[in-house]
C-alpha cells in the first residue's frame, strides 16, 4: 500500500502494509527515532506524536489511517543546534535524565500549550498523565512546562491535515477498505462479513501485538460522516455516532450539560492521547467488564442503533453486551449510533471510577447512578457497575431498592447494603464491594 502524508512539514509518500503501526513507519520507514516504543499498548506515551493537531500514541495508529495526515514528531520541533523554546526549558529545568520519555513528554506539553497558553499545574498534570517517566519524579518536567509557558511560548497550531485514502495493492484491495459512507461500508460487509471493523484503532494495535487478533482484512469506519454525528433530536434524544471519540464527547456542551456521568466516564477512561482516538462505539463493542463508557450508558438508559444492509435494529444497551468480548453484533452489522434520552429536570447522575492510576485505562471499580426525584422521593433509578465481572452489569436490585423511597440516611444505608450484596466480583471481593458501597453513599448524600 502507498500512503502520502506530511511529516514535520514535508510531504512524504511511503510504501507500507495497511496495519503497520505509525510508530514503526516513523522509526523504520522514515528513520525518525525520536518516537520510541515502550509498552506498545497506549500506557506509557513514549511514542506520542501530534497527528492532525491532536496528541496520539503512534503505537495505536495503523498506517492505513495516516493517509493525508499532518504529523509532528520531536524532530520537527528542533535539534541540538536549534532547540525549540520548550526543548530548551526541559534542559534548563533539569527535566531530562535518561531522556527516553522526553520526546513524548515534550509533544504532550506542546499539545497542551497549543490549547492552553498558561496552564495551571493541574492542567499540566492531566495533559501529561499518559506519559510515564521513571527518572525525574515529574516535578522538573512540570517546572519545564511552566517555564516555557511563563516565558511566553506560543506554538503555532499544528496542521489539521485531511483524510486521504491509501492506494492499496491489487492483493490488498480484496481485504482492506476505506469506504466513504455508511451504506458503502454495509455493502462491503454484506459480502465480506468476516472483515474486522476499524474505528479509533486503540484496541487493534495492542491486540495484534499480544497475538489476540490477526485480522484477515479491515474496513476503516472511523471517518464515516454518519458515525460522527453528535446532535439533539426533536424527540429529546441525544444521537451520538459510534465513532465519536472520548475527547469529542468531552468537548461537546450537550454532553457536558445533559450527561455529566458520560462526560466523567470519557474523562476518566484514559489519558489524552488515547481519548483522542478511542470511540464510544469501540468502547461498547470491546464488551469488556473494565470498559468505562458502557457503565455510564447503562445508568443513562441508552439504546443502540445497529445497521446492516437494508435493516436497522434498536437494542437497549444492557442487552447489547452478551459476554466478555461478545457484543450483540450479527454478521454484516455495524453499531451506528448511541441514543440517549434527555434527562428530565430534577434528575441526578454520576459516574465514579477507582483504579491504580488516574490515566490508566483499566478501572478496579466503576459505578454509575441515575435517579429522578420528586419532592425528595426517588421515583426512578438506574445503576451500572464495571470491573465486577467479565462484562459491565446493570444493578436491578439496587434500582428496585431505591425506587419509591425518600432520600435520607435510611435509604442510603439500604442502598449501600444492597449494592454490596448484589455485586459478586471474582477478584478482591471485599475491597470492591466496600468501595462500590462507599460510592453509592457518596452519590446519595450529594443529593
Q: Which one of the spans 129-137, 215-223, 255-263, 302-310 is the region binding ligand FES (CB under 6 A)?
A: 129-137
Q: Please name the residue that has the C-alpha cell 459516574.
A: 351
- Return the SS3 of 233: coil
Q: How far is the CB of 43 from ligand FES (least distance, A)?
A: 6
Give the strands of the sheet with 365-374, arranged side by side.
Answer: 347-354, 365-374, 377-386, 393-394
Beta bridge partners of 385: 367, 393
C-alpha cell recorded at residue 361: 485505562
Residue 144 touching ligand FES (CB under 6 A): no
CA separation for the pair 24, 153 (Å, rounded): 31
Q: How far is the CB of 123 from ligand FES (least distance, A)?
A: 20
The answer to whether the CB of 386 falls within 8 A of the CB of 363 is yes
- Residue 146 Cα distances to 74, 131, 152, 271, angstroms: 19, 17, 10, 20
Q: How far is the CB of 168 from ligand FES (least distance, A)?
A: 26
Residue 369 touching ligand FES (CB under 6 A): no
Q: What's the CA angle centered on 121, arms 83 and 84, to 5 degrees?
A: 5
| Kind plus residue range of the DSSP H or E element containing 145 | helix 139-150
For ligand FES, the closer CB: 138 or 213? 138
Question: If we measure between CA atoms, which residue out of 72, 241, 63 comes closest to residue 164?
Answer: 63
Q: Which of residues 248-287 bind ligand FES (CB under 6 A)?
A: none
For ligand FES, the closer CB: 133 or 267? 133
Residue 434 touching ligand FES (CB under 6 A): no
Among 136, 158, 247, 361, binds ligand FES (CB under 6 A): 136
- Return the SS3 of 6: strand
Among 14, 30, 135, 305, binds ligand FES (CB under 6 A): 135
- Residue 420 Cα distances to 395, 397, 423, angstroms: 11, 11, 6
Residue 40 touching ligand FES (CB under 6 A): yes
- Return the SS3 of 5: strand
Among 134, 160, 162, 397, binds ligand FES (CB under 6 A): 134
For ligand FES, the closer CB: 101 or 423? 101
Q: How far is the CB of 29 from ligand FES (least distance, A)?
A: 17
For ligand FES, the closer CB: 101 or 336? 101
Q: Which one of the spans 73-81, 118-126, 132-140, 142-150 is the region binding ligand FES (CB under 6 A)?
A: 132-140
CA separation for the pair 15, 101 (Å, rounded): 29
In 3-state terms, the chain is what percent helix, strand and coil (to 5)? 35, 20, 40
Residue 42 touching ligand FES (CB under 6 A): yes
Residue 32 touching ligand FES (CB under 6 A): no
Residue 43 touching ligand FES (CB under 6 A): yes
Site string for ligand FES, 98-127 (x = CB under 6 A): xxxxx-------------------------
Among 24, 37, 75, 167, binds ligand FES (CB under 6 A): 37
Give the number of other CB atoms < 10 A from CB of residue 174: 12
Q: Please name the residue that has the C-alpha cell 503505537.
A: 59
For ligand FES, the closer CB: 26 or 299? 26
Residue numbers of the site for ligand FES (CB under 6 A)?
37-40, 42-47, 57, 59, 96-102, 133-136
Amino acid at each position: 500500500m502507498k500512503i502520502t502524508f506530511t511529516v514535520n512539514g514535508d510531504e512524504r509518500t511511503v510504501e507500507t502494509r495497511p496495519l503497520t503501526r505509525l510508530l514503526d513507519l516513523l522509526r523504520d520507514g522514515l528513520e525518525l527515532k525520536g518516537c520510541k516504543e515502550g509498552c506498545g499498548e497506549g500506557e506509557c506515551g513514549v511514542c506520542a506524536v501530534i497527528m492532525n493537531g491532536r496528541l496520539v500514541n503512534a503505537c495505536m495508529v495503523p498506517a492505513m489511517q495516516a493517509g493525508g495526515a499532518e504529523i509532528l514528531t520531536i524532530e520537527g520541533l528542533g535539534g541540538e543546534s536549534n532547540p525549540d523554546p520548550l526543548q530548551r526549558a526541559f534542559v534548563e529545568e533539569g527535566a531530562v535524565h535518561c531522556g527516553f520519555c522526553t520526546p513524548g513528554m515534550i509533544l504532550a506539553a506542546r499539545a497542551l500549550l497549543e490549547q492552553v497558553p498558561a496552564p495551571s499545574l493541574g492542567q499540566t498534570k492531566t495533559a501529561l498523565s499518559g506519559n510515564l517517566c521513571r527518572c525525574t519524579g515529574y516535578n522538573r518536567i512540570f517546572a519545564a512546562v511552566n517555564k516555557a509557558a511563563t516565558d511566553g511560548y506560543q506554538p503555532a497550531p499544528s496542521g489539521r491535515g485531511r483524510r486521504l485514502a491509501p492506494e492499496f495493492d491489487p492483493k490488498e484491495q480484496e481485504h482492506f477498505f476505506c469506504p466513504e459512507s455508511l451504506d458503502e461500508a454495509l455493502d462491503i460487509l454484506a459480502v465480506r462479513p468476516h472483515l474486522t471493523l476499524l474505528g479509533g484503532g486503540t484496541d487493534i494495535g495492542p491486540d495484534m501485538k499480544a497475538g489476540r487478533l490477526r485480522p484477515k482484512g479491515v474496513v476503516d469506519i472511523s471517518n464515516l460522516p454518519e458515525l460522527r454525528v453528535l446532535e439533539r433530536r426533536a424527540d429529546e434524544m441525544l444521537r451520538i455516532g459510534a465513532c465519536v471519540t472520548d475527547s469529542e464527547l468531552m468537548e461537546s456542551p450537550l454532553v457536558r450539560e445533559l450527561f455529566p456521568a458520560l462526560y466523567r466516564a470519557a474523562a476518566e477512561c484514559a489519558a489524552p492521547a488515547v481519548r483522542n482516538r478511542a470511540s464510544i462505539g469501540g468502547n461498547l463493542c470491546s464488551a469488556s467488564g473494565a470498559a468505562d463508557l458502557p457503565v455510564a450508558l447503562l445508568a443513562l438508559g441508552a439504546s443502540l442503533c445497529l445497521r446492516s444492509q437494508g435493516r436497522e435494529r434498536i437494542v437497549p444497551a444492557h442487552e447489547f453486551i452478551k459476554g466478555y468480548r461478545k457484543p450483540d453484533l450479527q454478521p454484516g452489522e455495524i453499531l451506528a449510533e448511541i441514543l440517549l434520552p434527555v434527562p428530565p429536570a430534577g434528575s441526578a447522575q454520576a459516574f465514579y471510577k477507582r483504579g491504580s492510576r488516574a490515566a490508566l485505562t483499566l478501572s478496579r471499580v466503576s459505578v454509575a447512578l441515575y435517579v429522578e426525584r420528586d419532592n425528595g422521593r426517588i421515583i426512578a433509578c438506574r445503576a451500572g457497575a464495571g470491573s465486577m465481572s467479565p462484562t459491565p452489569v446493570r444493578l436491578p436490585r439496587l434500582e428496585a431498592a431505591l425506587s419509591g423511597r425518600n432520600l435520607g440516611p435510611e435509604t442510603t444505608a439500604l442502598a449501600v447494603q444492597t449494592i454490596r450484596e448484589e455485586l459478586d466480583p471474582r477478584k478482591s471481593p471485599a475491597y470492591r464491594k466496600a468501595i462500590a458501597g462507599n460510592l453509592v453513599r457518596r452519590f446519595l448524600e450529594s443529593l
